[in-house]
Structures are given as C-alpha cells and as structure tokens.
Amino acid sequence: MKLAGQHEVSTAVASGDVVPDARGRAGAGSRRLVVLTTQVVAVAVILGLWQLLSGRVIATFLISNPADVFKKLADLLQTSAMWQNISTTVQELVVGYALGVVGGALVGWALGAVRFAGSVFEPIINGVNGIPKIALAPVFLLWFGLGIWSKVAQASMVVFFVMFYNVYMGMRSVPKPLTDVVHVMGASRRYVVRKVIFPSLAVPIFAGLKAGVPFAMIGVIVGEFVAADKGVGYYVLEATQQYDAAGLFAGIVIMVVMVLIGLTIVNAFQRRVLRWQRD
C-alpha cells in the first residue's frame, strides 16, 4: 500500500498535477511581495519629495513636511480630545455606511427584479442623484440637528446611490434564460436566488461595498465641515482656519487610515464569502 501511494504521488508530480499548483502558489506569493515592495518604495519616494520640497520650493506653512506631520500626529493621539473626535467620526461613518448599503441594496434589488418599477423610478432616482450632495448638507442639518445624525444622513445618502446602481445594474444583467431553465427544472425561488442570482450579483455587490467606504467618509467629512462641534472633519476645519498645516495633514492621515481599515474589512469579508470562486 505504501509503495502504491508513493507511486500515485510520483505519477501526479510527473504528470504536472501537483508541481504547477505549488509553483502557482509560489508565483502568487512572489507577486504579492513585489507589489508590497513597490508600494513601500512609492510611498517612501513621495514622502522624500515632500520633505525635500517643503521650505525649499514651497513654503512650509502651506504643506508642512512629513517629520512635522508625524510629530503632530503622535502628539494628537496622546490627547483624549482627538480620540473623541475619532470616535465620533467612526460612529457616523459606520452607521451611515450601513444604512446606505442596506437601503441601496434593497431598492436596487427591488427595482431590478420588477422591471416596470425600475422603468418608473430609475429616472426619478437619477434626478435626485444629480443634486450636489453638499447642497443637501444644510437640509440635513435643519432636519436632524447638530449631532451625529445629520452626518449619518449625509453619508448614507451618498453610499445609497453607489450601492443602488451596482445592485440595480447587476440585477438587470442576471441571465434570464438561465433563471427560466432552473425554474422549469423545478427549483424553488429561494434556490434560484441562492444559486443563480446571488453569484451573478456577487461582483457588483462587493464593488459597491468597496466604493462605498471612501464615499461614506466624504459624506461624513462634508457634514462635519458644514456644522459640527467634534469629529475629525471638525478638527481639520479648525486646523485650516488656524493655518496649522501639520495639524491639517495629520487629520488627513487619520481619515486615510480609517478608510484603509474599512476597505481591509470589506476585502476580508469578500475573500470569505467568495471562497467558492477560488475553489
């Protein structure tokens, strides 16, 4: 039995069933390492040019420099006030993102599934989407007040449209002949949704989830710029008014980190849910 097992393994290796898979994994790991190294080098070059130009080509009070920005950032993260600002913005971001994703996905699903409803309401949604989002910030302030809910409304509205269009167009692109065949074969509607519609929607859904993270941040920061008494956007606005370039860029770094964390969470969720695609 042992010799037979060894013979099978040897045959698989010789025929190329095992070695190419190992080589594929090694190649993928090598590519990831190259990409990561290139990213690190690119960031280092940008920071080096920034440091070099600051005070020599461009006035320091306009762009500060990486050394001062990271020093300012370290000082800010030691204060309870900054952590309160971060906590407020995170709450607004998470709640606004969640509401926008759920609302956009449900409306996109409904209008995509019922073509008559889609034909009626799609032009109306397009018209509302054409309104500049910053123009609605004072409206949300009037409706929801100075607290977090006006920023939540701003963020959820922006994310809603991103998610709606991805799911709506995904529903319109589901192959109808395939669903008809599955129905004829006696499959239940739940089976069709799980095995046909959801796999077809997986890519546009996750595209909307990823695009929604930075758009949610934009909505939150716009709301905090218009009217707020705390939040990262509020801090950035104060730093701008005080000509504190280091504080301004430190606030921007915090925003970027928050967005990257959100995207990392979405990517991890995508890898887990779409494991069947790799299999």
Model confidence pLDDT, tens digit, residues 110-151: 998 888 999 999 999 999 999 888 888 889 999 998 889 999
Q: Tens of pLDDT along 248-257? A: 999 999 999 9
Which residue, among 206, 215, 217, has the nearest Cα to 270 in the 3D structure? 206
Q: For residues 200 and 177, give the distance between their C-alpha atoms in angstroms, rounded to a whole number.
A: 13
Classify domain 63-278 by CATH architecture: Orthogonal Bundle (1.10)
**Of the candidate ranges 20-34, 65-79, 87-101, 201-215, the one whose mean pLDDT is the lowest:** 20-34
Residues 6+ apart with CB under 8 A from 67: 51
Confidence of residue 276 (pLDDT cuts 50, 70, 90): low
In the beta sheet, which residues pair with residue 58? 54
8 A C-beta contact, residue 68 and residue 203: no
pLDDT reading at 100 higher than 80: yes
And the tokens for 166?
Answer: 């991805």
**pLDDT-based confidence at residue 97 (cuts at 50, 70, 90):** very high
- Say how far apart CA 90 and CA 120 lie, in whole Å: 36
